[in-house]
Each structure stands twice: as structure tokens, then as C-alpha cells.
């Protein structure tokens, strides 16, 4: 019972990462591994700012800008140098590992005794978990609305069209190099903001905290789509957020059932592999049934 | 209007897959010309069209529209002047977006996108009026995703999208080839209607010789990366299939059956 609020708040905080992954994986139709570097980058940038005594909101803003830069680099690698997007993301991710160490000055930065966005709102309640939940929900809602608005504008529509059919949008006069870079920029800003919030919620930033984030994001996106549908863009955004919450619930449950925490990443990877492979397996199964029926 | 001066294109130069697709092509189109383009497989028709649209740079020569040299412009910049419909009905629309979203994008062709709302409801009356003459019932389905439409519906929609922002030049690359005969007929009717009403300068590739003869005011035939035959005006009006075959024989110096040109 006492697990409900922490699980929910983790789900909401991490849904910002899931939204970022959704923007590349589904909207732009690119599997972007920059995420694994921009998440700790956001955490590192925000923590470094906080340690230096800056305001938590400024720290989050700095993290977002850092994420944007990471997205731009991957974008330029793939559009200008024609490096395949997957590889471009890996290159940026690896480079960011060193960058993050520079930003933090060491491998781990503690935020204990330092004012964070969560202590800023501690007047809401004495219950730290409840504050995290409320701040997480507010941040998620704000970013969802921002996303909905932006992707409904002319520029946003051009980015979405790039993901569906780059030929079409080029034939309509849009430079797809620009839309791809923009999409990656926004996605990685989201991911970095998530990193900044998670670091403040956990009380530390760690250079290794990005490992597996892409898979967590994918799991949330896919769970959300399967359970809550993709009827329109707003519905997709809500599904991704709910998917992230369900993912945390599943994790809490399997941990409760006694799975060793060290196996979590293995579990998540298998979950995502099954979910990604499911449509194909379903189609094969149907085709087989069809053949047998025809006999 | 359109001036193509001595352009050439070789794919994969210097490799074993080297292919000379355009040898030395020059072509001048007057305002309002509706040119049908025929020729066998691999004659270079699509390459000519893609060169104009800027899908790839040409090796030599220049292309200009209304006196403006566009040879070095990237594809998306040329789109300001050029509307296109591809052979594949999937190519011209964004399947996952609604009909009205696709139309909204097309209505801004060549303009820098802004932060204004992309598909405001105030567009709808205008879009319905545009779609109604197609008689495909699309005017009542503005909020349907384009992926749900049939190939013919998509091609008609693409045609509308290609022409709604008043292009200086319309490029049609076998845009009815992937459709069943009845639908192809319908899309072609819509094409001639739009092109005629708006006096659009048009290049239309087709494999159907009957269509090539009955549509437009000018006909060119390509062969081996060259324009071999170019007839216009009265001569084009009175042209028949046997005439064309005789002209080809004279120009290419070789025997030819209508079959080998894949012309029906
Ligand atoms: N992107 C490309 N890379 C390599 N070769 C190409 C490419 N595009 C076309 N070609 C080659 O150039 C030649 C001309 O092709 P093109 O597509 O222009 O012919 P076409 O007249 O449109 O024929 P079809 O009637 O079959 O569409 C062909 O030999 C083709 O194989
Ligand atoms: Mg062709």
C-alpha cells in the first residue's frame, strides 16, 4: 500500500523521458540512442548548477538547453554527414559520457542538503513522496500541453510529416534536414529535463544513470500504445504517460514478488523485445492458421 | 517558362553499375504547355523529371523556370514552383495524418512553416469545396487518416495537393499507372480538368499511348536518355499510333513494335 505513491511519482517523472523517446521513435521514426547520454547530461548539468547554488528552475532550464545541444549534434551527424541515425546517436551518447564527467567533475554528485525543485515545493505537504508526485504530475502535464500545442503548429506538423513521409514533405517545400534536427532537439530536451528531475528526486547525479534509459522509454511507449491506444496525437501523449506509470507498477510488482533488482534491466529488455516482436509473431500465427484452415 | 539546356545525368559513374540515364537533353516549355512524355522502360523519363524536381543534381547543363536558374537549388526549395505526383500512391501523402492536415501542408507549399496552428477549422469550408468536385466523398472525411484511403483516392488527393498552391510547373510521373483501369481513367479525367481550367504548365509521363495522344498539346518521346520525337499543335492533334511508330523508325533508325515500347 505504501508503495503506491512512490510508484506513481516515479512513473510520472520518468514519463517525460518516455515522451522524449516517443517523439523520436514514433513521430520522427528514428531510434535515437542519444537518450542514454542526454539523460545523465541533464542530471549532470542540473546538479552542477544546483551545487553552485543556482535556482532549481534555472538548473532545469540549463539541463534542457544541454539536451537540445546533444540532440542537435546527433541531428547534424545524421543529416549533414549522412551517418545512419542509430550510429549517430551512439556516437553522441559515447561522447557525452566524457562530457558528463567534465560537467560533474567526478562520477557522482550528491545533492543532499541542497535546495531542489522538490524542496522548493515542500510547503505543499510534509510528505516528500507526495510532493514528488505533485511536482512530477505538474511537470508532465505542462510538457504534454506544450507538445500538443507545438506539434499542432505548422512547424510541428512538418516534423510529424517528416516521420511519416519525408518525400512528401520535401515535395511540399520543407527542408527535412531542419525538421529532423528540430525533432531530435526537442526529444533530447525532454530527456534531459527528465534526467534533471530524477537526479533531484534521487538526491544525486551519477555518470552511469543513463544505462538502459532507452529501453525504459521504449517499454513505456509500447505499453502505453498497446493498453491505451493511439487514436489521435493527444491520445498518444496520454498513452505514453500512462504507459510509463504502468511500467513502474509492473516493476514494483515483480520486485515485490522477489525478483532481484539486478535482473531488472534483463527483465525490461525481454519485455521490450517481446512487445516489439509481437505484431510479427501475431501475423505469422494468423498466416499459419489461415493456411491450416485452407487445407 | 521551363528551360532545360543540355543536361546530362549518369548514375554511379566509374563503377560497374554505371548507367547513363540522360545523354544531352534540352527542352523548352511555353506557359500553359501540357506535354505528355512517352518512351520505353529505362528511357530516362523519370530521370528527366527528377532532375527538374531536384531529387538529385544533374552532371551538366542548366534548368531554369521563368528565367530563374534553379540548377543548384535543393529539392525543397524548388517545391515552391513545382507540384508533383508520383507513380506510387503512398509517396505523395503522409499516411498517418488526416486529410485536412495533408491539405493544410500542401496549401503552404514553398512557404516557411511558422508557429501558427497548422490545420485550423476555418480551412474546412475551403477544403470541402476543393474536394467535392472529385466526387470521391472525401469532403465528408476531412478528419480521416489518409492511410485509410484507396490508392485512387490518395492519388486524386495528391493531385489536388500538388496543384492547390498554384505551381508554375506540374510534374506527373505515371501517376495513374498503379491504379485499376477505371480509377486510372477517373484520375486522368480529374487531371485534364484541373490542368485545363488552370492552364498549368505540365509534364505528364505515361505508358498509355492513347492517353499520350489524347491529352495535352505536345508530345515527346524519349529513347536511350534522349528526346527523340517532339510534336506539338496541329501535328500532335492529328497524330496516330502508326504515325508515331513511323517517326520513331526514322529518328532512331531501327525497327520498332509498339510492344517493345511498352505502349498499349
Ligand atoms: N537512382 C538511380 N540509381 C541508379 N540508376 C538509376 C537510378 N534511377 C534510374 N536509374 C537508371 O537510369 C535509367 C533511366 O531510368 P528512368 O527511371 O529515368 O527510366 P524511365 O524512362 O522512367 O523508365 P520506366 O518507364 O521504367 O519508369 C535506367 O536504366 C535506370 O536503371
Ligand atoms: Mg519512370
Spatial separation of the C-alpha atoms in residues B70 and B75, rounded to whole Å:
10
User: What value of ipTM does the predicted structure carry?
Assistant: 0.89
In this predicted structure, what is the pLDDT of residue A1? 55
In this predicted structure, what is the pLDDT of residue A294? 73
State pLDDT tens for residues A108-150: 999 999 999 999 998 988 888 999 999 999 999 999 999 999 9
Domain ranges in chain B are 2-92+161-254
| Mean pLDDT over each residue of chain B, to the nearest integer | 91
Q: How far is the CA of B88 from the centre of ligand 1 (A)?
A: 15
Q: Where are the alpha helices (DSSP H) in A203-263?
A: 213-228, 233-256
Among B7, B19, B53, residue to substitute to test ligand 1 (most atoms within 8 Å of Cβ): B19
With a cut of 50, list the residues of chain A below it in pLDDT.
none
**In DSSP terms, which residues pair with B145 in a beta bridge?**
B98
A85-104 helix and A56-79 helix, angle to the nearest 10 degrees: 150
State pLDDT tens for residues B8-49: 999 999 999 999 999 999 999 999 999 999 998 889 999 999
CATH number 3.30.40.230 is the correct assignment for the domain at B2-92+161-254: no
Asked if B131 contacts B138 with a C-beta cutoff of 8 angstroms, the reply is: yes
In this predicted structure, what is the pLDDT of residue B237? 86
**pTM assigned to the model:** 0.92
State pLDDT tens for residues A46-90: 999 999 999 999 999 999 999 999 999 999 999 999 999 999 999
B39 lines ligand 1 (CB under 6 A): yes
With a cut of 50, list the residues of chain B below it in pLDDT.
262-264
In this predicted structure, what is the pLDDT of residue B259? 52
Asked if B2 contacts B27 with a C-beta cutoff of 8 angstroms, the reply is: yes
In this predicted structure, what is the pLDDT of residue A50? 96
Contacts of residue B68, defined as CB under 8 A and 6 or more positions apart, other chains included, come to none
Q: Is the dihedral of CA A159, A163, A165, A166 positive or negative?
A: positive
B89, B96, B111, best to mutate vs chain A, most A CBs in 10 Å: B96
Of A153, A161, A174, the CB nearest to B115: A153
Amino acid at each position: 500500500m505504501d508503495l503506491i505513491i512512490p510508484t506513481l511519482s516515479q512513473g510520472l517523472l520518468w514519463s517525460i523521458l518516455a515522451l522524449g523517446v516517443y517523439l523520436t521513435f514514433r513521430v520522427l521514426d528514428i531510434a535515437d540512442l542519444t537518450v542514454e547520454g542526454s539523460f545523465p547530461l541533464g542530471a549532470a548539468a542540473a546538479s552542477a548548477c544546483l551545487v553552485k547554488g543556482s535556482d532549481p528552475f534555472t538548473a532545469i532550464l540549463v539541463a534542457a538547453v544541454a539536451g537540445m545541444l546533444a540532440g542537435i549534434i546527433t541531428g547534424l551527424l545524421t543529416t549533414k554527414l549522412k551517418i545512419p541515425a542509430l550510429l549517430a546517436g551512439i556516437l553522441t551518447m559515447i561522447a557525452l559520457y566524457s562530457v558528463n564527467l567534465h560537467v560533474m567533475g567526478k562520477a557522482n554528485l550528491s545533492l543532499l542538503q541542497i535546495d531542489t525543485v522538490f524542496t522548493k515545493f515542500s510547503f505543499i505537504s510534509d510528505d516528500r513522496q507526495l510532493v514528488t508526485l505533485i511536482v512530477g504530475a505538474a511537470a508532465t502535464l505542462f510538457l504534454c500541453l506544450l507538445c500538443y500545442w507545438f506539434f499542432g503548429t505548422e512547424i510541428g506538423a512538418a516534423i510529424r510529416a517528416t516521420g511519416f513521409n519525408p518525400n512528401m514533405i520535401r515535395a511540399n517545400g520543407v527542408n527535412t534536414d531542419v525538421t529532423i534536427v528540430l525533432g531530435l532537439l526537442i526529444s533530447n530536451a525532454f530527456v534531459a529535463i527528465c534526467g534533471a528531475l530524477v537526479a533531484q528526486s534521487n538526491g544525486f547525479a551519477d555518470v552511469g544513470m543513463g544505462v538502459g534509459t532507452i529501453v525504459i522509454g521504449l517499454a513505456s511507449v509500447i505499453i502505453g500504445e498497446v493498453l491505451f491506444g493511439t487514436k489521435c496525437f493527444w491520445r498518444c501523449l496520454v498513452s505514453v504517460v500512462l504507459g510509463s506509470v504502468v511500467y513502474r507498477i509492473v516493476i514494483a510488482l515483480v520486485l515485490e514478488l522477489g525478483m532481484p533488482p539486478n535482473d531488472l534491466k534483463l527483465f525490461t529488455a525481454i519485455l521490450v523485445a517481446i512487445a516489439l516482436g509481437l505484431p510479427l509473431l501475431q501475423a505469422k500465427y494468423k498466416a499459419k492458421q489461415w493456411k491450416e484452415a485452407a487445407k | 517558362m521551363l528551360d532545360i539546356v543540355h543536361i546530362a545525368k549518369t548514375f554511379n559513374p566509374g563503377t560497374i553499375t554505371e548507367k547513363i540515364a540522360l545523354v544531352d537533353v534540352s527542352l523548352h516549355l511555353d506557359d500553359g504547355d501540357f506535354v505528355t512524355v512517352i518512351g520505353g522502360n529505362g528511357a530516362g523519363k523519370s530521370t528527366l523529371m527528377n532532375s527538374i524536381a531536384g531529387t538529385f543534381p544533374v552532371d551538366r547543363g542548366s534548368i531554369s523556370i521563368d528565367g530563374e536558374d534553379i540548377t543548384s537549388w535543393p529539392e525543397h526549395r524548388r517545391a515552391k514552383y513545382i507540384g508533383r505526383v508520383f507513380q506510387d500512391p503512398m509517396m505523395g501523402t503522409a499516411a498517418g495524418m488526416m486529410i485536412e492536415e495533408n491539405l493544410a501542408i500542401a496549401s503552404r507549399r514553398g512557404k516557411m512553416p511558422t508557429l501558427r496552428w497548422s490545420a485550423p477549422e476555418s480551412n474546412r469550408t475551403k477544403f470541402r469545396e476543393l474536394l467535392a468536385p472529385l466526387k470521391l466523398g472525401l469532403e465528408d472525411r476531412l478528419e480521416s487518416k489518409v492511410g485509410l484511403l484507396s490508392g485512387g483516392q490518395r492519388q486524386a488527393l495528391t493531385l489536388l495537393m500538388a496543384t492547390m498552391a498554384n505551381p508554375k510547373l506540374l510534374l506527373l510521373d505515371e501517376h495513374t499507372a498503379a491504379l485499376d483501369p477505371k480509377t486510372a481513367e477517373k484520375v486522368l479525367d480529374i487531371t485534364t480538368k484541373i490542368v485545363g481550367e488552370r492552364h498549368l504548365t505540365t509534364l505528364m509521363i505515361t505508358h498509355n499511348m492513347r492517353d499520350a495522344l489524347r491529352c495535352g498539346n505536345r508530345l515527346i518521346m524519349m529513347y536511350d536518355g534522349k528526346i527523340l520525337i517532339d510534336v506539338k499543335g496541329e501535328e500532335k492533334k492529328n497524330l496516330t499510333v502508326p504515325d508515331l511508330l513511323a517517326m520513331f523508325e526514322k529518328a532512331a533508325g531501327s525497327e520498332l513494335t509498339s510492344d517493345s515500347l511498352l505502349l498499349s
